Amino acid sequence: MNKLVMKFMAAGLICAVLSAPPLLGQTSPGWFLDLETGGAFLGYCDVQIPGTSAGTRFSLTDDLETLGAVFFRLRAGLNFRERHTLWVLIAPLSLDGSGSLPHRLEFNGASFPAGVSLTSNYRFNSYRLSYQYRIKNSEKLRIGLGFTAKIRDAGIRVEGGGLRSEKTNVGFVPIINFLLDWRFSPALSLLLEGDALAAPQGRAEDAFLGLVYRTGARWRFRAGYRILEGGADNDKVYNFALVSYLSLGATYNF
């Protein structure tokens, strides 16, 4: 599935949110737009493709050097009927690396000789449609729980010595979303929110912890740390990765 199709699917999710108010009986929804940016850094990324003895296990952080990158995440949605929230999220991620291995690398059907200069790319684009219900919804404390339908567009590419191979994976992942927002002063609150799920096929966690500053009724600004972690272990692919984000964000309520 190419990038054009993924963008088309993301646009379709946005259209679904924009058409939601009539379906929900909501004439004056609480629309919001959220942008998050900062630096993304690969903590670890262990790879073996295929995930059998035919593939060589190596690390994009220990065997190669993967650089950090500026990231952005865009979210749009609405709050309705006091305790309900619906939103879409577009979260692209791409990290480049380089280096060499002292041994032959068998990766996704390609055989890279020992010592050859290699470049790599780790891609993990995410497109999500989420619904959340706030179990607790007071002025000082909000607790929410919901469901996220996630489309994962992932890929790992290695090239060098005239060879190039890329393993891609596009799939649907159902996960649970959560929220804890403790407003300990009129202007400041502690925010923990994210998506997470573990299963025999693998696991996925994407969570943010930080401080939120409110200025007026419309703007909220936040700063904190985000972690993206997970992976899968099967005959086709072994890959577990951790990405750390130093994050700044802003939310505008219409």
SS (H, E, C) 143-211: EEEEEEEEEEEEEEEEEECCEEEEEEEEEEEEEEEEEEEECCCCCEEEEEEEEEEEECCEEEEEEEEEE
Q: At 243, which CATH number?
A: 2.40.128.90
pLDDT at 216: 85
Element (H, E) at 2: none
pLDDT at 95: 98
pLDDT at 133: 98
Q: Which tens digits make up the pLDDT trace of 203-235? A: 999 999 999 999 988 999 999 999 999 999 999
Query: For the chain, how many structural domains are there in total?
Result: 1
pLDDT at 27: 43
| d(C-alpha 49, C-alpha 57), whole Å | 8
Domain hosting 204: range is 3-253
| d(C-alpha 192, C-alpha 72), whole Å | 19
Under 8 Å CB-to-CB from 18, ≥6 apart: which residues?
none
Would you say how long the chain is, in residues?
A: 254
| d(C-alpha 217, C-alpha 87), whole Å | 20
Tokens representing residue 80 in the block: 């309705």
Of the given ranges (29-33, 43-47, 85-89, 100-104), which has the lowest mean pLDDT? 29-33
